[in-house]
Amino acid sequence: MGEPEKPTTVSITNQVEQILRRIGTNSKVEGVVVINNEGIPIKSTLDSTSTVQYSAEISQLADRAKCLVRDLDPTNKLTFVRIASKKHEILVAPDIDYIMIVLQKTKKQGSAED
């Protein structure tokens, strides 16, 4: 009853834009994708095909990681996932309303420590 629920939206404020830009200017970073809690990309520095691919695959994986953590300890909560592969690293930072995905070169490929 009453008003229909408003859909949760994440507005990209100036501050957020600045943070995303700062992350994106790191020389090791190859891409940044921000997806909302429905797995829909709301910001990306990758091309549209890659964006859609990453959004779909990583949102599912993040969910699985959340379950993994809670199954091992119901009082625990996922904070971060780092997937290292031969070619690059995928960093996944989940939050209540969104998931931030950063694609970066592996430590071996990058220069100094960050």
Partner 1 sequence: MTYEGVKNYRAELEETLKRLSEHDGVQGLVVIDKEGRVSQTTFDQQYTKKILSNISGFTSQTRNVVRDLDPMNDLSFVRVRSNKTEILIAPEEDYILVVIQQPSQD
List residues binding partner 1 (CB under 8 A). 53-54, 57-58, 60-61, 64-65, 67-69, 71-73, 75-88
In this complex, which beta carbon is closest to partner 1, that of residue 21 or of residue 77?
A: 77
CB of 72 to partner 1, least distance (A): 6
In this complex, which beta carbon is closest to partner 1, that of residue 79 or of residue 111?
A: 79
CB of 76 to partner 1, least distance (A): 5
- Gap between the Cα atoms of 26 and 19, Å rounded: 11
- Gap between the Cα atoms of 41 and 48, Å rounded: 10
For the chain, how far is it from start to end, CA to CA, in angstroms?
52
Those residues whose C-beta lies under 8 Å from the C-beta of residue 11, and which sit 6 or more positions away, are none
